[in-house]
Chain A
Amino acid sequence: MHECTNPVWPCAMVGAAACLCGIHDLEVVVHGSSGCFFYPASLLHAPLHGTFLLPGEAVFGGADRLMEVVSPLVSQGKRVAVLTTCVPALTGEDVASALCGLGTHLVEAPGFLGDYEEGYNRAVSSLPIQVDEGVGGVNIDGISRMDPFGQGNLMEAARTLALMGVSQGSLLVSGKWDALSRAAPLTLQTNPDLASGIGETVGSLLGFEGVRQSAARIGEFHPMADISAVNQEVDHAEERLIAAADKYLRRHDPPVTAVFGEASISCHAAGVVHRYLDSEVVTVMVRNTPQDQCSSRLPFRMVRSTDLLMIKEEIDTHGPDLILGSSFEHAAAPDIAFVGITPPLRSRFRLAAHPLVGTEGMLFLMEEVLNKMMDRRAHS
């Protein structure tokens, strides 16, 4: 790592918490200070427990305190995961021994290990996920409690599978603990940056082409799957989207766009505005190292940074009239039309579960872009 100004992306501990909190019947205990607890608790809107270590416990060992928090949960028959933070990791506290015999699940993801994706992936790797060759259906992958579109993406993936008449396998990571041990052999991706590596991937739901290709691949394994239903829906949706974009372009120039966020979603969003709105994408600045080759496929300048001053400089340099990103970017350039694709998305109410992937996700994204551009033009 290196120095960074006003960092806009959380640490590995938060990523691990985001993953574990997706499991509905798992009590997650953050083993660390209250300062480390409050941030994921407020960000994830999830029921978390904390050991709220005091300095003396960090110095002389926090095992007793950990047991004080974990034991009542275990005695109530709850399944418990313990997530260690920086200081217990640094002091070499033997948390595994302290928890021995309690049947708890331990994830060591101190913040200094890296960023959010590092922690999320570490937590996924620790889970007892088993592929059961006898299980039909397709797993849905890349679901995170931190993602404001996570629930929408999950629902859209489930709807797409249902449209094909294919059952859904395990939800990675969402749902119940026991379901993890009965994962299907195939996996459909909603966010490649959070790929679990479980099962054989059939592709992602990023973009219309992603939906078509994933459906075709699923059809190879499930001959009874109704691929045509998905293709028809995608064709129809794409026609509507093109018509709307064309209508906009009859009156207005395409927006000059800057994109900020996780690598896969950012590449996807940049591709959408480029392809359907003929938008010049002046920068794609990503929070993390891409897990797939999305950068090599797209004709965009892509750089990695979580430094808000660099982000602001990038915006100032290129002067986009549309920003796709988080509320950090929105706050940095409040006069530029903004569409949220990346957490955090503050200063607006978000109640419904909107997707960013799949057919509905494509429509939602374009709807947001067009309406924000129209609003901005109306006010300028």
Chain B
Amino acid sequence: MPLSPLPSATCRNEGCTLTGALSVTTAIRDAISIVHGPPGCAHHTFSLFHGAQSSPWDEPPIIVSSGMGEREVIFGGEDALAAAIHLAVQRSPCAVMVLSTCVAAAIGDDIAAVCADLEQEVPIVHVPCGGFLGGTFNDGVVVALTTLTRLDKSDYPHPGITLVGEKNLEYEAESNYHEICRLLHLLGHHVNLRFVRGATMDDLMRIGSSSLNILREPALTPVGERLCKVHGTPYLPSFPVGLEGTLQFLRDIGECTGRAAEGPVDQEMKGQRLMSETFHDITGRRVGPPREGGEVAEALTVELAETFDLAIHETAPPFPMDGSLPVGTAGISRLLHRWRRMVRA
């Protein structure tokens, strides 16, 4: 599709906070998300979720629009929001998440006050994203996660490892999760909390008792920092990328949790060697430089080129890192399968 976002500029094409925040709040089990804005904003995102079939469970998420129209734009939309909250509460959710659009932000609706004034039996959580006026898709993810960290109840003593900010719209989200579980299992650990993917409100309330947080990607560092500052929880900045990156991930987990990592690292190296042998036929081929993914993608391309004795050449097909970087050794294997299919086709 010949899209032409002229001229290109960083941040300009990184979407809207609303979609990012909704990708988090709609992953809370049995919660309802309210989009305070015109119905079109809720439709855009719901349609995206529907098309991506990305929900962590079978049923599509419930997104209520406050239905702002011309009247609300002129006279204020707070009554419409209150009505939408009442509608949502009638469905007996575990919580109602209230997200603002650029329209609500531009007309200055006091959403926090509306949420605070309503006495309801379920938590009404204001996620102050403000549509694109609040930043980009990733800013929306960060603000939603940060808001949810405030729900912590310190009387939940369930220490363990927490995954923070899994990409719920990512096609590979579940397979990435299973790869992390496999790596943690090598060290005798398991995932205690997925913050936020299919978690209940009760689950979210024990975020503060986590013993180690693993962020999905470095862009979530503000969330990791906040949890570190408030609860003293150490964090790793990213899921593992690359062969050596995966081994280092194991070492880092071992260091943070006091477990010996040498054995698991040896075991993983052995697995990586076996995996590499299945790709012996790509040796000597040419691979292109990555088109996206930045420095990490470049470093990964160099690492794989060295591992498999590939020549990096401008006109050759790059490793397919469209949208996200491969996670762990399994991610590398799938990446190589897709690339080998590309160069064969």
**A11:B63 contact, CB within 8 angstroms:** no
Chain A residues lying within 8 Å of B6, measured Cβ to Cβ, are 49, 68-69, 72-73
**A112:B1 contact, CB within 8 angstroms:** no
Q: A1-B38, A9-B39, A68-B6 are in contact. List 12 more A-B contacts (CB 8 A).
A: A3-B64, A3-B83, A5-B65, A7-B43, A14-B40, A33-B102, A52-B12, A55-B133, A58-B132, A112-B103, A115-B40, A344-B47
Chain B residues lying within 8 Å of A87, measured Cβ to Cβ, are 102-103, 106, 131-133
B11, B63, B73: the one contacting A112 at CB < 8 Å is B73
Q: Does B143 contact A (CB under 8 A)?
A: no
Q: Does B69 contact A (CB under 8 A)?
A: yes
**A47:B40 contact, CB within 8 angstroms:** no
Contact with A along B38-66 (1 / 0, CB 8 A): 11111110111011000000001011111
Q: How far does the Cβ of B20 sit from chain A's closest Cβ, in whole Å?
A: 10
Considering the complex, which residues of chain A in the window 1-42 have a beta carbon less than 8 Å from any beta carbon of chain B? 1-14, 32-39, 41-42
Chain B residues lying within 8 Å of A41, measured Cβ to Cβ, are 1, 3
Chain A residues lying within 8 Å of B9, measured Cβ to Cβ, are 52
Chain A residues lying within 8 Å of B134, measured Cβ to Cβ, are 55
**B11:A3 contact, CB within 8 angstroms:** no
A: which residues have CB within 8 A of B? 1-14, 32-39, 41-43, 45, 47-50, 52-55, 58-59, 68-69, 72-73, 86-87, 90-91, 111-115, 306, 308-309, 327-328, 331, 344, 346
Compute how far the CA of A33 lies from the CA of B139 in the bound complex, rounded to whole angstroms. Answer: 14
**Also in contact, A35 and B40, with CB within 8 A (given A48-B3, A68-B7, A344-B51):** no
A/B interface sample: 23 pairs, CB < 8 A: A1-B71, A3-B87, A4-B65, A5-B62, A7-B65, A11-B38, A13-B40, A34-B12, A35-B15, A35-B19, A36-B16, A38-B15, A48-B3, A52-B9, A69-B7, A86-B102, A86-B103, A87-B103, A87-B131, A112-B68, A112-B72, A113-B70, A115-B40
Chain A residues lying within 8 Å of B15, measured Cβ to Cβ, are 34-35, 38
Q: Count chain B CB atoms within 10 A of each CB in A33, A41, A59 and give the residue with the most.
A: A33
B42, B51, B87, B132: the one contacting A55 at CB < 8 Å is B132
Chain B residues lying within 8 Å of A331, measured Cβ to Cβ, are 50, 60
Q: How far does the Cβ of B50 sit from chain A's closest Cβ, in whole Å?
A: 7
**A33:B132 contact, CB within 8 angstroms:** yes
**B46:A90 contact, CB within 8 angstroms:** no
A3, A54, A72, A308: the one contacting B80 at CB < 8 Å is A3
**A35:B83 contact, CB within 8 angstroms:** no
Q: How far does the Cβ of B243 sit from chain A's closest Cβ, in whole Å?
A: 34
Q: Does B116 contact A (CB under 8 A)?
A: no
Compute how far the CA of A346 lies from the CA of B49 in the bound complex, rounded to whole angstroms. Answer: 12
B5, B42, B70: the one contacting A7 at CB < 8 Å is B42
Compute how far the CA of A320 lies from the CA of B65 in the bound complex, rounded to whole angstroms. Answer: 28
Q: How far does the Cβ of A376 sit from chain B's closest Cβ, in whole Å?
A: 21
**Also in contact, A49 and B46, with CB within 8 A (given A14-B40, A331-B60):** no
Instruction: Select from chain B the residue with minimum beta-carbon distance to A73.
Output: B6
Compute how far the CA of A113 lies from the CA of B69 in the bound complex, rounded to whole angstroms. Answer: 6
Chain B residues lying within 8 Å of A35, measured Cβ to Cβ, are 15-16, 18-19, 44, 131-132, 137
**A47:B65 contact, CB within 8 angstroms:** no
**B13:A52 contact, CB within 8 angstroms:** yes
Chain B residues lying within 8 Å of A9, measured Cβ to Cβ, are 39, 43
Q: Does B254 contact A (CB under 8 A)?
A: no
B: which residues have CB within 8 A of A? 1-7, 9, 11-16, 18-19, 37-44, 46-48, 50-51, 60, 62-73, 80, 83-84, 87, 102-103, 106-107, 131-135, 137
**Also in contact, A3 and B67, with CB within 8 A (given A10-B43, A68-B7):** yes
**B50:A327 contact, CB within 8 angstroms:** yes
Chain A residues lying within 8 Å of B51, measured Cβ to Cβ, are 344, 346
Instruction: Select from chain A the residue with minimum beta-carbon distance to B4.
Output: A49
Compute how far the CA of A8 lies from the CA of B39 in the bound complex, rounded to whole angstroms. Answer: 9
Chain B residues lying within 8 Å of A114, measured Cβ to Cβ, are 69-70
Chain A residues lying within 8 Å of B70, measured Cβ to Cβ, are 112-114
Chain B residues lying within 8 Å of A90, measured Cβ to Cβ, are 73, 103, 106-107
Instruction: Select from chain A the residue with minimum beta-carbon distance to B81.
Output: A3
**A12:B40 contact, CB within 8 angstroms:** yes
**A54:B11 contact, CB within 8 angstroms:** yes
Chain A residues lying within 8 Å of B103, measured Cβ to Cβ, are 86-87, 90, 111-112
**A58:B67 contact, CB within 8 angstroms:** no
Q: How far does the Cβ of B82 sit from chain A's closest Cβ, in whole Å?
A: 10
Compute how far the CA of A73 lies from the CA of B11 in the bound complex, rounded to whole angstroms. Answer: 22
Q: How far does the Cβ of A239 sit from chain B's closest Cβ, in whole Å?
A: 40
Compute how far the CA of A68 lies from the CA of B41 in the bound complex, rounded to whole angstroms. Answer: 26
Compute how far the CA of A344 lies from the CA of B83 in the bound complex, rounded to whole angstroms. Answer: 29
**B12:A1 contact, CB within 8 angstroms:** no
Chain B residues lying within 8 Å of A43, measured Cβ to Cβ, are 47
**A5:B63 contact, CB within 8 angstroms:** yes
Q: How far does the Cβ of A335 sit from chain B's closest Cβ, in whole Å?
A: 13
Chain A residues lying within 8 Å of B2, measured Cβ to Cβ, are 47
**B19:A37 contact, CB within 8 angstroms:** no
Chain A residues lying within 8 Å of B106, measured Cβ to Cβ, are 58, 86-87, 90-91
Q: Count chain B CB atoms within 10 A of each CB in A14, A73, A86 and give the residue with the most.
A: A86
Instruction: Select from chain A the residue with minimum beta-carbon distance to B32.
Output: A5
Chain B residues lying within 8 Å of A113, measured Cβ to Cβ, are 69-70
Q: How far does the Cβ of A5 sit from chain B's closest Cβ, in whole Å?
A: 5
Compute how far the CA of A42 lies from the CA of B50 in the bound complex, rounded to whole angstroms. Answer: 14
**Also in contact, A34 and B1, with CB within 8 A (given A4-B67, A55-B132):** no
Instruction: Select from chain A the residue with minimum beta-carbon distance to B133.
Output: A55
B40, B48, B137: the one contacting A111 at CB < 8 Å is B40
Instruction: Select from chain A the residue with minimum beta-carbon distance to B17.
Output: A35
Instruction: Select from chain A the residue with minimum beta-carbon distance to B51.
Output: A346
Compute how far the CA of A196 lies from the CA of B84 in the bound complex, rounded to whole angstroms. Answer: 35
Instruction: Select from chain A the residue with minimum beta-carbon distance to B136.
Output: A34
A4, A34, A39: the one contacting B132 at CB < 8 Å is A34
Compute how far the CA of A50 lies from the CA of B4 in the bound complex, rounded to whole angstroms. Answer: 7
Compute how far the CA of A309 lies from the CA of B5 in the bound complex, rounded to whole angstroms. Answer: 36
Compute how far the CA of A13 lies from the CA of B41 in the bound complex, rounded to whole angstroms. Answer: 11
Compute how far the CA of A256 lies from the CA of B135 in the bound complex, rounded to whole angstroms. Answer: 48
Chain A residues lying within 8 Å of B12, measured Cβ to Cβ, are 34, 52, 54
Compute how far the CA of A307 lies from the CA of B244 in the bound complex, rounded to whole angstroms. Answer: 50
Chain A residues lying within 8 Å of B62, measured Cβ to Cβ, are 5-6, 309
